[in-house]
Structure 1
């Protein structure tokens, strides 16, 4: 089964929103597939992409890999000199 770039992008946004809304979630591709009602294979592609661009943390490899949200760094205070 091949999946279009458009579908991958849609799935990438779906995963990003899931982890933003559940910042303390730790999920495997299989667990997330059940929650989102999606296939495991396309999810693995998307989750690895999100980990590569530092949106998610990835611990482990293969079907045992666990993904979690990587909170973006934000600076709360600005010093004016």
Structure 2
């Protein structure tokens, strides 16, 4: 059984990894080796991040590939739209 706190901590680590490497494409196995964590917990954390739309997941199971989904940031506001 995996402790919930371990999964949450790993979610933060995975998020930081992908934010710092926005063009990275990783499997749960590859990322678990990079972070020094178990593949099972890493896959669980990655799946949660995909459910929250922080990561994009392509494929299923051990062959699934994850990548960062950069958040949409609006840089301009049309103030005339609110008249």
Q: 1:6 Cα shift?
A: 1.1
> Counterparts of 1:1-81 in structure 2 under 5 Å?
2-81=1-80
- Paired residues, what number? 80
Which secondary structure does the structure 2 equivalent of 1:33 belong to?
Answer: helix
| TM-score (norm. length: structure 1) | 0.95
| TM-score (norm. length: structure 2) | 0.93
Which secondary structure does the structure 2 equivalent of 1:27 belong to?
Answer: strand
**How far apart, CA to CA, are the structure 2 residues paired with 1:72 and 1:29?**
22
After the TM superposition, list the runs of 4 or more consecutive aligned residues in structure 1 that deviate by more than 4 angstroms.
none
**How far apart, CA to CA, are the structure 2 residues paired with 1:60 and 1:5?**
25
**How far apart, CA to CA, are the structure 1 residues paired with 2:9 and 2:38?**
13
Larger Rg belongs to: 2
Q: 1:61 Cα shift?
A: 0.7
